[in-house]
Amino acid sequence: MTLVAFLFYFFIGTAALSAIVLLFLKNIFHAALALLTCLLSLAALFILLQAEFLAVSQILLYAGGVVILIIFGIMLTTKAGGQAVPITNTGLLPGLAVGAGVFFLLLFFVHKSLFALPSSAQETIVNNNIERIGIEILTDYVLPFELAGVLLLAVLMGAATIAGFKHVKN
């Protein structure tokens, strides 16, 4: 087993493990940390799948943005000074059953290759993916790119407005 292959399966393992742990944790702060682990492992997998730009974005956006945001959210919604409220589940067994059903179905699709998924990667000759992705975004995908900019602006204002709105008791 080469080092690359070892890393590949190692990160698959950490991603899967942290996701499973996330499902059963009782402390919401620990859950956020498990999510962070999972997302970082995914970033590592992105590098191994030759999506370096996405890996960097993953770390910046998720690890640096979303998880921090979630942790702030946890701090703001926990009762001040008190112990963190333990997470409880509702309808765990039916939920797990449905989840298992979905998992089974997805595995079935993968196994039967219903959507004609090639199982092995073709070797990429081009190694400068970051440059190519930049060109793609500013040529073929320039409209969605600009729209994403508008969306981000709208979200910025919208989130600020919603979160800043004070409920007035009358």
Partner 1 sequence: MSLQSIYILSALLFSIGLVIVLVKRNAILVLMGIELMLNAANLNLIAFNKTVPASLDGQVFALFVMVIAVCETAVGLAIILQVYRHYHTSVPDEINELKG
Partner 2 sequence: MSSQALFSSLVLIALLPLLSALVATVIPASHRWITPLASSLLLALASILSLLLSISQWNEPTLVWEKTWFTLGESTVTAGILLNNTTLVLLSVVTFISFMVHLFSIGYMAGDKGEQRYYSILGFFTFAMLGLVLADNLLLLFVFWELVGFSSYMLIGHWREKDAATAAAKKAFIINRIADLGFIIALLIIWGHTGSFSLTSFNFEEQEAWRTGAALCLLLAVMGKSAQLPFFNWLSSAMEGPTPVSALIHAATMVVAGVFLLIRVFPLFTPLALDVVVIIGSSTAVLGALAALHQFDFKKILAYSTISQLGLLVAAVGTGAYGVALLHLLTHAFFKAGLFLGAGAVIHSLHQAQHSSHVHFDVQDIRNLGGLRKEMPITFFCFSICAAALAGLPLFSGFQSKDAILVSVFSWSGDQVWRQAFAWTIVITSVLTIFYTVRMLWFVFFEEAKKTALLTIQEVPTIMRIPLVLLSLGSLWWMVAFHPLDFSGWLLDSIQPNQEHNLFITWLSLISIPTLTVLAFLWFKYRKKPTTLGFLQEGYYLDYLNSLLVTKPILAMSTVSERIDKKGLDGIIHGFAYLTVGLAHLLAWVDKNIVDGLVDASGRLAKGFGSIARSFSGGQIQSYIFWSVFALVISLFWFLFY
Which residues in the 91-120 window bind partner 2 by CB under 8 A?
Answer: 91, 94-95, 98, 101-102, 105, 108
Task: Closer to partner 2 by CB, 31 or 44: give it.
Answer: 31
Return the residue of 63, 80, 100, 128 that touches partner 1, per CB under 8 A.
100
Tell me the backbone φ, ψ of residue 25, rounded to 5 degrees: -70, 150
Say which residues have a Cβ less than 8 Å from residue 56's Cβ, sequence separation at least 6. 43
**Residue 85 or 97 having the CB closest to partner 2:** 97
Binding mask 116-155 for partner 1 (x = CB under 8 A): -xxxxxxxxxx--x--xx--xx---x--x---x--xx--x
Give 17's Cβ-side CA count (13 Å radius): 9
Separation between Cα atoms, residue 30 and residue 26, nearest integer Å? 8
Cα torsion for 132, 137, 140, 146, to the nearest 10°?
-170
User: Any contact of residue 80 with partner 1 (CB under 8 A)?
Assistant: no
**Tokens 């039916």 -> residue:** 94
**Residue at 84: amino acid letter:** A
Residue 44 Cβ vs partner 1, minimum distance, rounded to whole Å: 12
* DSSP structure class, residue 121: P
- Per rule CB under 8 A, is residue 74 in the interface with partner 1? yes
Q: Binding to partner 1 by residue 66, rule CB under 8 A?
A: yes
Residues that bind partner 2 (CB under 8 A): 90-91, 94-95, 98, 101-102, 105, 108
